[in-house]
Structure 1
Amino acid sequence: MLYELKSNLPGFKTARFRDGLNIAIARRSPTPTAEDGGDRLGKTSFVRLLDFLLGSDVRLGHPLRRTEFAHAEFGLTLDLFGQPRTIGRSVENLAYAQVNGAGMRISKFRAYLGKGLFGLTEGGNEPSFRSLMAYYLRDVTAGGFVSPTETYRKQRAADAQPALAYLFALDVDLVAKVREVGETDKNLRELRRAAKDSIVGMTLGRANDLDAQIRTLQIQRDDLAREITEFHVADRYARHRAQVDELSRRIRDINDRLVLLEGGAKDIEKALSQDEESLPDRDYLRDVFEQVGIVLPDLVTRRFDEVEAFHHSIVANRRRYLEAEHARRLREISQEREDLGGLDRERAELMRLLEAGGAFETYSELQRQISVVDGRLSELMERRAIVDRWGNANRHVQLRSAELALQISSDLHDRRDHIADISRLYASFAYRLYGDRRPAALTIEAKRSGYKFVPTIGGGATKDVQGMALFCFDLCMAVTAKRAGHGPDFLVHDSHLFEHVDARQVAGALDLVADTCRKEGLQYITTIDSDRLADALRERPDLDYQLCAEMTEEREDGSLFGIRY
């Protein structure tokens, strides 16, 4: 339970809490101004300040990053380990916190709170303290109210599941195994994508291509080994000479083709570089006829225009043809040069062998070639083994994933009474709000990705219904976690939760949470505008609540921190 929120800031609005429903009210001016809205009075900052004192970071955009709070200190008194304790943090020293005046590093402080509020032992597959706390103090600036099962925008199900499984008293070890398999599968997918990359894929290769290269090299090696066994120098030289002659002929042919291709490409470039051919000048004709006193009829002028347009079309078509022909020749030149380089290297290797000093050198060269082939074969076979291991790993991941899905399904079946209690509790909360008009359910399904939480309230998926679905989900979570000894006895909501909800539903939600707090020994804290609270009280005049803090626009120092910014 929380007792008091305070600060050394002179105008800070100290908040005092009791059990049950606590409301931090923001009294708005009867005549709204252009400055109204946002967080001018500090409603959202109120929640974020509580979160700060419970170990959150001060990231970019956090109100405590303002220079006005550079020397501010804050304190929160709450129950920890069965007795009230006061924790404190200062903006000047964010890496440390205090508990009853004793300092500790923030990492140790979070572990301390995790043990005191959630019963964490820092062992096994438990979720982190901050991932759990995020469901009790949702951050609207991070997208905490977008989905009941997410505490920030686009949160992966794998990241949310450890906390949800723990809070709803499910098997966190199963979730950890699913997450491990998921990470392995993700890594394999990344490796497969990398293998298709133009560089990495070229290095590793594909199974079929590797098999083909291995078979070709094995045949080449067998030929070299046979030549070494049946070594005949003269035959070897004759074969090399014939090969050199053939390669020289092919090189000459390519050079001849390159001369023609390059010459044609230069001619086309020259043609393209010249200005577009000048159009026929028809103005001189008009001048001649005018000098002799003849006026050209409109029909003749139109014919001149048609001829000029036709000429433009011919010039444009010719240019497109030249550009296409130039590109084709450049491609052919590139290919011919690549072929020429390969043939030249092959001929150089044969010439080096022919220039060897005799039989011993030739025999040594054969030995060197077979060593090169052996090294290449070894490399390819190792790469082929890696590809096989990838395939086996992928099959193992798929099998393991299916096994875990079956285990989760079996686990949910074994916990069917517990799951039914959770769903019944959620449905009862929604029924208090909507009656039988909107059937509701919180189902927990077994998926390959782990437990899937599906909170629903029937009818249209309007923003007010979505807000109340999140409200019922959080309240169900807080009750379930407290009963299991997996969560604290308080829950905090920003006023943004009720932003799109009408007065009747706001009144119903506040009455529901006040009643639930009495029955379950919980404490609920929320911020709300004064006009919204007044509308709700007209619907529920007997609402049991306490004003824990009051912010107002009537004074310059009426905001939470006592200053306007």
Structure 2
Amino acid sequence: MSLVKLTRLSSNQKSFKTINFNPKGLTLIVGTSSGEENAGNSNGVGKSLALRLVHHCLGANGSKKLGDKLPEWVFRLDFEINGKPYQVERSADSKILALNQQSIKVRELQAWLNQIGVFNLSAEQKLPISFRSLVKRFARVEISDCIEPDSTAEEQPFEALVRTLFLVGLDVRLVSNKYELKKRIDSLRQAKKVWRDTPALHDLFRAGNDARIRADWLRGNLPRLQEQLNSLVVAENYHEIEKVANEKTQKLRDLNQEIEILKFRCNSIADLLIVKPDITSQELLSLYQGLEVIFKPEALRHFDVVEKFHRSVAEGRKRRLTADLIGIQSEILVKETERGKLAKDRDEIMQSLRGKTAFEEYRAVANEFAQQTQELKALEEFLEVDANIQKEELTIKEALLLDAQRAAEYLSSNPLSNLEIFYRRMTECLYPNSASGLSLENNTGENLLRYNFKVHLDGSKSDGIGHAKILCFDWLVFTHGANHTMQFLWHDNRLFAHLDPGVRGRWFSNICSELLSTEKQYIATINSENYDSMLCLLTDTEKNTLELSKVLELRGNMASQKLLGIQVDL
């Protein structure tokens, strides 16, 4: 495996404050104010930016904001791998990227970093680990990287667990096994859900019906539908014939109505023919005799003439009514003949349709048969898939149970004991009266995690103690971890800002002591107020060590004294 150390961070812009990292031990980058009122402060001078630029040169995804603000800037990181010098140059907008002056793409750089051997990635190809995902544990750049010691920004719980256990040297095979088995169960259940949501089955399950019972009913109903189809005789022109029959039926109704009207007229005429005259001859004679008293006799016609006229009128009316009656009766006869022929034709047409059906009716039965056949096929396939899924789920659950037993056996060996001793020693230096430790518990729940891993330090819900917990755990991974040969650890000021000065002082005192016997680099960026407040708690030797470790002091009173040497909001 390869040892990686940082040498220098520089830029093609003269205003940039080049950082020359100490080859071993402590490297301090201090951000300070001028000490004058309203002259600026140590925030925003470029301490965190320096760390961000190191990540930029080590294959991090490009920052659009960085590229937009500094389009002409190119940054260069010099570093060593097993004592051999390397350099990466990358422009702020990532249009320029070179490894040892050879143009390279970001993904190619990331692949090269995976292969150089800083992390033991060869044996764990299927795990979510890479140089980029692991180096963040040694150089936490985002605020969200500094919340919990066993995770960084945007990590899923499974990813965080694997990377943490990998870096402390614990067996991750059972972690990977449970993840893969649980994902398989999830995929099986999703496949089952997809089947249930298919158009042929969706309404069935939404109504709460049982698939097996429905399949049994379909198996019994389909033969009945088939028999019904076989018995149907389709008349291709069924509707045309039916239309003709309906038209003739309507004509029959119209003829019946016309005949009834004609019969009514016949009856009326017959009644008129048998009605007696309104006045008799004797009554008419009496009337004329009475008129002679009033009128002169010569003024009145002779009665015989009048009676003759009356008789002729009556006879003419009778002849006319009789003629009308004969004409109507003849018309009735014609229409009844027409009606009989029409009724016969209609009945013959209806007889031709007897026992036959329209194509639409046949098609409706055929469609129902096809739909139920398709539904039965889908149900049978679903039932088969469901049975296989249940069988495979049981097999997976047995494997999970066996893995849970193996995990319990593994935990019984107390694999964290040595690491926990060192971690407690670190935390006791900072908080002598606070309990601390590392816990690894078997997670038997139906989830993706094999273990519940926790880093403990009493009172760590407060920012200061929480950040101290991160400092101690990072140092544990850095100095006593596994599967890596990282030779630098970088802590930004945000991890020091909320520590009590005494805790901060004890941290640096302990770190300086630890570094004496190693070739490792510990890089810290710190505000001057945080730096100065702890100096009084250090020995003269420790103060001198810290002062000699300073490689750069950035000031906030003038843009030229900041890291970039210009005023820019990043």
TM-score, structure 2 as length reference: 0.67
Distance 2:453 2:196 in 1: 36
Alignment length (residue pairs): 432
**Counterpart in the other structure of 1:527:** 525
- Confirm or deny that 1:438 pairs with 2:434: yes
**Counterpart in the other structure of 1:145:** 146
- Confirm or deny that 1:504 pairs with 2:502: yes
**Counterpart in the other structure of 1:281:** none
- 1:23 shift after superposition: 1.0
Amino acid corresponding to residue 470 of structure 1 in structure 2: I
- 1:15 shift after superposition: 1.0
Return closer, same or farther for 1:443/1:562 CA change in 2, 3 Å cut-off. same
Distance 2:375 2:37 in 1: 80
- 1:222 shift after superposition: 4.4
- 1:364 shift after superposition: 11
Q: 2:137 aligns with which of 135, 138, 154?
A: 135
**Counterpart in the other structure of 2:11:** 7
Q: Give the share of equivalent positions with the same residue, in percent.
A: 22
Distance 1:526 1:157 in 2: 28
Q: Secondary structure at the match of 2:34?
A: coil
- Confirm or deny that 1:376 pairs with 2:375: yes
Return closer, same or farther for 1:425/1:199 CA change in 2, 3 Å cut-off. farther
Task: Please tell me whether the aligned partners of residues 438 and 456 of structure 2 are also in contact (alpha carbons under 8 angstroms).
Answer: yes
Distance 1:471 1:84 in 2: 29
Task: Please tell me whether the aligned partners of residues 10 and 19 of structure 2 are also in contact (alpha carbons under 8 angstroms).
Answer: yes
Distance 1:368 1:202 in 2: 19
- 1:105 shift after superposition: 2.2
Q: Deviations over 1:353-408 (max 9, x none)?
A: 964389xx999998887565433321221123333344444444433333333333
**Counterpart in the other structure of 1:51:** 55
1:282-297 map, 5 Å: none
Q: 1:553 aligns with which of 534, 552, 556?
A: 556
Q: Secondary structure at the match of 2:563?
A: coil
Q: Which runs of 5+ in 1 are unaligned?
A: 235-351
- Confirm or deny that 1:29 pairs with 2:29: no
Distance 1:516 1:204 in 2: 70
**Counterpart in the other structure of 1:423:** 420
Task: Please tell me whether the aligned partners of residues 195 and 205 of structure 1 are also in contact (alpha carbons under 8 angstroms).
Answer: no
- 1:224 shift after superposition: 4.5
- 1:564 shift after superposition: 1.4
Q: Deviations over 1:8-67 (max 9, x none)?
A: 1211111112211111100123246497575x2011111111111111112355xx2343
Return closer, same or farther for 1:15/1:210 CA change in 2, 3 Å cut-off. same
- 1:201 shift after superposition: 7.2
Q: Deviations over 1:215-249 (max 9, x none)?
A: 22122134456779xx8889xxxxxxxxxxxxxxx
1:1-400 map, 5 Å: 1-18=5-22, 19-31=24-36, 33=38, 36=41, 38=43, 40-61=44-65, 64-67=66-69, 69-94=70-95, 97-116=97-116, 117-121=118-122, 124-126=125-127, 127-141=129-143, 143-152=144-153, 155-188=155-188, 202=202, 205=205, 208-224=209-225, 355-356=356-357, 373-400=372-399
Q: Which runs of 5+ in 2 are unaligned?
A: 234-352
Q: 1:540 aligns with which of 538, 553, 558?
A: 538
- 1:93 shift after superposition: 3.6
Return closer, same or farther for 1:156/1:195 CA change in 2, 3 Å cut-off. farther
Distance 2:551 2:385 in 1: 64
Q: Deviations over 1:231-280 (max 9, x none)?
A: 8889xxxxxxxxxxxxxxxxxxxxxxxxxxxxxxxxxxxxxxxxxxxxxx
Distance 2:216 2:86 in 1: 75
Distance 1:473 1:514 in 2: 17
Task: Please tell me whether the aligned partners of residues 167 and 487 of structure 1 are also in contact (alpha carbons under 8 angstroms).
Answer: no
Distance 1:233 1:554 in 2: 99
Return closer, same or farther for 1:403/1:32 CA change in 2, 3 Å cut-off. farther
**Counterpart in the other structure of 1:408:** 407
Task: Please tell me whether the aligned partners of residues 28 and 552 of structure 1 are also in contact (alpha carbons under 8 angstroms).
Answer: yes
Distance 1:204 1:172 in 2: 44
Distance 2:489 2:361 in 1: 86
In terms of Rg, which structure is larger? 2
Return closer, same or farther for 1:356/1:530 CA change in 2, 3 Å cut-off. same
Return closer, same or farther for 1:198/1:78 CA change in 2, 3 Å cut-off. same
Q: Deviations over 1:467-509 (max 9, x none)?
A: 101111111111123xx45231111111001121111111111
**Counterpart in the other structure of 2:513:** 515
Distance 2:168 2:480 in 1: 6
Return closer, same or farther for 1:453/1:364 CA change in 2, 3 Å cut-off. closer
Distance 1:9 1:233 in 2: 92
Amino acid corresponding to residue 25 of structure 1 in structure 2: V
Task: Please tell me whether the aligned partners of residues 78 and 85 of structure 1 are also in contact (alpha carbons under 8 angstroms).
Answer: yes
Return closer, same or farther for 1:179/1:549 CA change in 2, 3 Å cut-off. farther
Moved more, 180-189 or 130-139: 180-189
Q: Secondary structure at the match of 2:560?
A: coil
Return closer, same or farther for 1:209/1:8 CA change in 2, 3 Å cut-off. same
Amino acid corresponding to residue 47 of structure 1 in structure 2: L
Task: Please tell me whether the aligned partners of residues 140 and 496 of structure 1 are also in contact (alpha carbons under 8 angstroms).
Answer: no
Distance 2:443 2:566 in 1: 51
Task: Please tell me whether the aligned partners of residues 169 and 486 of structure 1 are also in contact (alpha carbons under 8 angstroms).
Answer: no
**Counterpart in the other structure of 1:344:** none
Amino acid corresponding to residue 439 of structure 1 in structure 2: A
Amino acid corresponding to residue 488 of structure 2 in structure 1: F
Question: What is the Cα-based RMSD across aligned positions, in Å?
Answer: 3.5
Amino acid corresponding to residue 51 of structure 1 in structure 2: H
Distance 2:115 2:232 in 1: 84
Distance 1:441 1:353 in 2: 93
Q: Secondary structure at the match of 1:478?
A: helix
Distance 1:389 1:114 in 2: 40
Distance 2:130 2:442 in 1: 23
Distance 1:219 1:139 in 2: 69
Distance 1:77 1:404 in 2: 46
**Counterpart in the other structure of 1:489:** 487
Distance 1:66 1:167 in 2: 36
Distance 1:85 1:54 in 2: 11
Distance 1:357 1:556 in 2: 92
Task: Please tell me whether the aligned partners of residues 489 and 523 of structure 1 are also in contact (alpha carbons under 8 angstroms).
Answer: yes
- 1:528 shift after superposition: 0.6
- 1:70 shift after superposition: 0.8
